[in-house]
Structure 1
């Protein structure tokens, strides 16, 4: 079963179980809503799988319908699979040339995008040759004929940066800017691109200097997608070595937001960030020719 179908099946399983419990307890939607502390319309949306309840709401639902502690705990285990999508690269990539359009669909519904990257330049800031090298080094490997399409898809997503109605915030470590994924001339062009994009009013680029005191430790990058309208839910996307994870559970999303705040507090912005870019560029230019890959 494809990952999307598994997620939908998990959500419907939770929705049907919650409705069964309400009906078994002989409670109307209005009465249950009063006991759980939510609106009657939300009860309806939950039971029709239009809204996914939080862990706290499911626990309150269990208490309102008289479930035992053991049964309530079992009910709680249905929540996480309804919130988290796991897309292994080994199964996701063979189904399509690349995933850039999938990400773009999420971005199109996003009002604010928060990006943390500790190891490489974020995709929306990459120049073409840098992106090509990233895709060429990916595992499982992209077929050589598919790499140009993946690069073009990534560059096409960058058009959104110039839409003033949307906001993009990036926090990138100094180590990511120094990671030598390309020859020096390409790295210099990449640093210049970051400097240029930082002048956009709707784009914020913060850099965490290696000398900055650490306020937290996050070993992997992540992206927070905040919806453009109140009806949507905030999502977090995490790329791991083996899979892409999409997290929607409010409690877990809140954890990533707290980490984002700490990382942002460690970052430098504006003139200080531009000075750091210039320092890195100067060090690259000073490298002896024989050390350039």
Structure 2
């Protein structure tokens, strides 16, 4: 079994390789455009080399990445740099890791959230605020949890998977940090929403919810549901519980808007954040 760092290097490399393929570039062409050697591109894409931040920026420019995608690959590099070189072991998972097995094994992930953004859609900075508010959170635990969350998001880009997210408009207006943090988060939402493997639905505040939501949850295929409580995530596999959450998800999904309507709503709320200006920390 490889180390945590090696696994995250592979995730970063695979994402860069997919972006290069999407841009229609060979490894040699990308290397030339970025002003780096072709072996560097090969080693990074195969998870055998950690690029410096300068090399990563050169690759991003050569790939003509937009700001949201550039930020995404920078977050993946941050996850590599914060990872341990020790071999991964199977233990009771630390903060933020309890759903990895359920999510990674699922071909269909369906998530509903009424307060906080779904874990799979959070930027690294947003996730840092989420974990920092957890009871007994230490800087080390928060850093590890954020890195793991960013790494988990790589499944969004795997073509054989499908992810459906339904959130209330309140999620977009319940924000940590600063308006700038949320503007960066909106950029990420818009980028992810455009993926063919992802559907993002929003229940507008003008539309009544089908039932009063009490917490968020994530369905992994028809095998498990991750139920979020105040201080932890609980994975349930009971068939009756699964059926109840599947029914609730479909009801919230039916109340949501998708596609162009969802993007229009995102852009409208984003514009409101742009008008907030600097906000003093509380």
Q: Does 1:208 align with 2:197?
A: no
Q: Does 1:187 align with 2:176?
A: no
Q: Does 1:178 align with 2:173?
A: yes
Match of 1:98 in 2: 95
**Cα–Cα, structure 1 residues 247 and 103, in superposed 2: closer, same or farther, change >3 Å?**
closer
Gapped regions of structure 2 (runs ≥ 5): 1-90
8 Å CA contact 2:177–2:281 kept in 1: the answer is no
The Cα of 1:289 is off from its aligned counterpart by 3.0
- Given candidates 155, 159, 167, the residue that maps to 2:154 is 159
The Cα of 1:98 is off from its aligned counterpart by 3.0
Match of 2:105 in 1: 109
Match of 2:84 in 1: none
**Cα–Cα, structure 1 residues 97 and 247, in superposed 2: closer, same or farther, change >3 Å?**
closer
Q: Give the total of aligned pairs.
A: 192
SS class of match (1:211): coil
The Cα of 1:242 is off from its aligned counterpart by 4.5
Larger Rg: 1
SS class of match (2:207): coil
1:55-74 residue pairs with structure 2 within 5 A? none
Match of 1:267 in 2: 256
Match of 1:123 in 2: 119
Match of 1:26 in 2: none
The Cα of 1:280 is off from its aligned counterpart by 0.7
For 1:48-100, what per-residue CA distance to the aligned partner results, in whole angstroms no more than 9, with x for missing partners? xxxxxxxxxxxxxxxxxxxxxxxxxxxxxxxxxxxxxxxxxxxxxx9554342
The Cα of 1:247 is off from its aligned counterpart by 2.0
Q: CA RMSD for the aligned pairs?
A: 1.8
1:17-28 residue pairs with structure 2 within 5 A? none
Match of 1:255 in 2: 244
**Cα–Cα, structure 1 residues 98 and 181, in superposed 2: closer, same or farther, change >3 Å?**
same
Report the Cα distance in structure 2 between the residues aligned to 1:277 and 1:222, rounded to whole angstroms: 22
The Cα of 1:246 is off from its aligned counterpart by 2.2
8 Å CA contact 1:184–1:292 kept in 2: the answer is no
8 Å CA contact 2:179–2:279 kept in 1: the answer is no
Match of 2:70 in 1: none
TM superposition score normalised by structure 2: 0.64
For 1:93-128, what per-residue CA distance to the aligned partner results, in whole angstroms no more than 9, with x for missing partners? x9554342x422222221101000000111110111
Match of 1:240 in 2: 229
Gapped regions of structure 1 (runs ≥ 5): 1-93, 228-233
Q: Does 1:284 align with 2:282?
A: no
8 Å CA contact 2:109–2:218 kept in 1: the answer is yes
Report the Cα distance in structure 2 between the residues aligned to 1:273 and 1:252, rounded to whole angstroms: 29
TM superposition score normalised by structure 1: 0.62
The Cα of 1:252 is off from its aligned counterpart by 1.9
